[in-house]
Amino acid sequence: AQTVTQSQPEMSVQEAETVTLSCTYDTSESDYYLFWYKQPPSRQMILVIRQEAYKQQNATENRFSVNFQKAAKSFSLKISDSQLGDAAMYFCAYRSANGGSNYKLTFGKGTLLTVNP
Amino acid sequence: GAGVSQSPSNKVTEKGKDVELRCDPISGHTALYWYRQRLGQGLEFLIYFQGNSAPDKSGLPSDRFSAERTGESVSTLTIQRTQQEDSAVYLCASSLGSGVGYGYTFGSGTRLTVV
């Protein structure tokens, strides 16, 4: 079974600064997808960024980018120019690309990000 | 609808009572999922529907938990004889299909408190 570990329960950053959230995972599969989701107080999970394991290039979405290290099974999220609206819980998630259970997301426990003005 | 709608938003119930949580997925989304989020924890998979069938119920924690989906639309998660450990946020998500190319859209969840 796959597991996802987020070792930072809480992080804080000053507005306009850069912060990196860590995520490691364990899998025996070679083809999978990794995600970062944001959960604001509204509780709705919002997709921030997605990485396909077979792609070596790191995904980027505006101020959000990832550092995907497949051999190390590491998938960190970098938020640049942090804004007050970035404050939320961030979850790392894994999804198999194999047909058997590729509908299911496996989540880490989350990192609570605080942005200080 | 425009998004995934869940009701009620919050529910407080007494230990031992039954509760029903409702999820209205996006119209046309054939796949529907329930997850549980306990305080300080990540989301745990409960059940997956494809149409009205549930090919994977492996995450349901006990036989007190059941779910159904009708008309390839609304789903109801029922918890019988609630216990304090059932207190959590229950999140529903839907997607156009179940393949990995189809992304999830989540609702805002139901926060269940068992007192």
Chain A CA closest to residue B57: A104
Yes or no: say if B4 and B103 are a contact pair by the CB < 8 Å rule.
no
Ranges under pLDDT 50 in chain B: none
Residue B1: the pLDDT is 54
A89 — pLDDT class (breaks 50, 70, 90): very high
DSSP letter for each residue of B50-102: ETTEEEE-TT--STTEEEEE-TTS-EEEEE-S--GGG-EEEEEEEESSSSTTS
**B window 9-38, beta carbon within 8 A of A:** 31, 33, 35
Residue A44 and residue B100: Cβ atoms within 8 Å? no
Mean pLDDT of chain A: 95
* Residue range B72-93, pLDDT digits in tens: 899 999 999 999 999 999 999 9
Q: Residue A91's pLDDT is what?
A: 97
pLDDT in tens, A39-54: 999 999 999 999 999 9
Contact check, Cβ <8 Å, B45/A104: yes
Q: How high is the pLDDT of residue A87? A: 97
Mean pLDDT value of segment A69-73: 96
Q: Give the span between the Cα atoms of A49 and A60, in whole angstroms.
A: 7
Q: Which residue has the higher pLDDT, A102 or B93?
A: B93
Cβ distance of B89 and A43 shorter than 8 Å:
yes
Number of residues written out for chain B: 115
Flag whether pLDDT at A27 surpasses 70: yes
Q: Do B91 and A96 touch (CB under 8 A)?
A: no
